Amino acid sequence: MNQDVAMMREALVLAGAVRGRTSPNPWVGCLVVPEGQGPISEGATEPAGGRHAEAVALDLAGDRARGATVYVTLEPCSHYGRTPPCADALLRAGVRRVVVGLADPDPRVQGSGIERLRQAGVDVTVGVCQDQVAEQLAPYIKHRSTGRPWVVLKLAATLDGRTAAPDGTSQWITGPAARHDSHRLRAESDAVLVGAGTVRADDPQLTVRGLDGHDDRQPLRVVLGRAPLGARVHPALELQGDLGAVLDELGRRGVLQLLDEGGATVAHAFHAEGLVDRYVLYVAPALFGGDDAAPMFRGPGAATVADLWRGRILSVTPLDGDLRLDIAGAGPVPVPASVSASVSASASVSASASVSASADREA
């Protein structure tokens, strides 16, 4: 393994550690490495309004950054938002070389940060561990490319694909380890969505619980339809209308990753319309043993074997007797050559919100 790959992998670890804390900004990792030495400083993106990863690492390095190589998972920005351009900070620090994992698909950047560095005489290498960075930043890439959030559909089922007993009880099919892991999934997400039927049946809180350091940041709670007054999901954003328009609205609110925890009807609707980017299935070694328990999806499915939806298993994680399966579509996360940030708002969506959320948060 060459040094560029090794250092970029370390930067990926730094970025992963702050995932769920930086939206609407991407989670980015950065290392400063003087020639012939190991890393002397490292940084990761701070919460929105704070420093970007490059600024954190450069501040720690101080004068030692002069003549060094900087490894950063995403292209340094070149525009003013809540913070100054990172490309300018790298030039002021006098770095000799910058290694970038992935060019930034944000229309405000799209190669301009790389070009600014090169024009100033900095040696820039792009594409080191690009596929791994694209996978890590898939929600950000989709949001900046389409204006919509990355949709994760979470399901918990028995071996025979059932999610609740005939009497409606569903707590609990999986064990404590799987449920704890599902809270990590919530913590990575900017919003959690359910249907009004789930609210009436289960009265969920949809909050992150039992994880250190996440009490001060909870995902936006979204209900399709109207939640009863007094439901524990409040304060929640209540949306009605076409699902594509719902995603457009959430994208405008700065939601990069949406976790769909809806019941069988909502799960079927997202799946049938091809709106799911990643499936996370928690499977318990249990059987209802009949056909009267609730299925994972409620609605018409594939009519023939030829029409089956086929995905790709990315990982299988044991969780103290249960399993977590992460499943994607057939292809890798696309890396757009060019993107458009325009989002059609022609579909009708109505919103009733008992929560405030900014639609115009800047990077």
| pLDDT score of 332 | 58
Catalytic, 54? Answer yes
Coil, strand or helix: which one is 130?
helix
Question: pLDDT, tens digit, for every residue of 280-291?
Answer: 999 999 999 999
Q: How confident is the model at residue 344 (pLDDT cuts 50, 70, 90)?
A: very low
Could you say which of 10, 42, 54, 261 is catalytic? 54
Which residues 6+ apart lie within 8 Å of 215 measured at CB? Answer: 208
| pLDDT score of 83 | 77
CA-CA distance, 178 to 212, in Å (whole number)? 17
Question: pLDDT, tens digit, for every residue of 12-27?
Answer: 999 999 998 998 999 9
Stretch 283-300: mean pLDDT: 96
Is residue 261 within 8 Å of 192, Cβ to Cβ? yes
| pLDDT score of 329 | 74
What is the CB neighbour count within 10 angstroms for residue 321? 13
Coil, strand or helix: which one is 320?
coil
Is residue 151 within 8 Å of 145, Cβ to Cβ? no
Question: pLDDT, tens digit, for every residue of 130-181?
Answer: 999 999 999 999 999 999 999 999 999 999 999 999 998 888 999 999 999 9
CA-CA distance, 151 to 292, in Å (whole number)? 29
Position 56: which residue type? V
Bridge-based pairing of strands 220-224 and 312-319 is unpaired
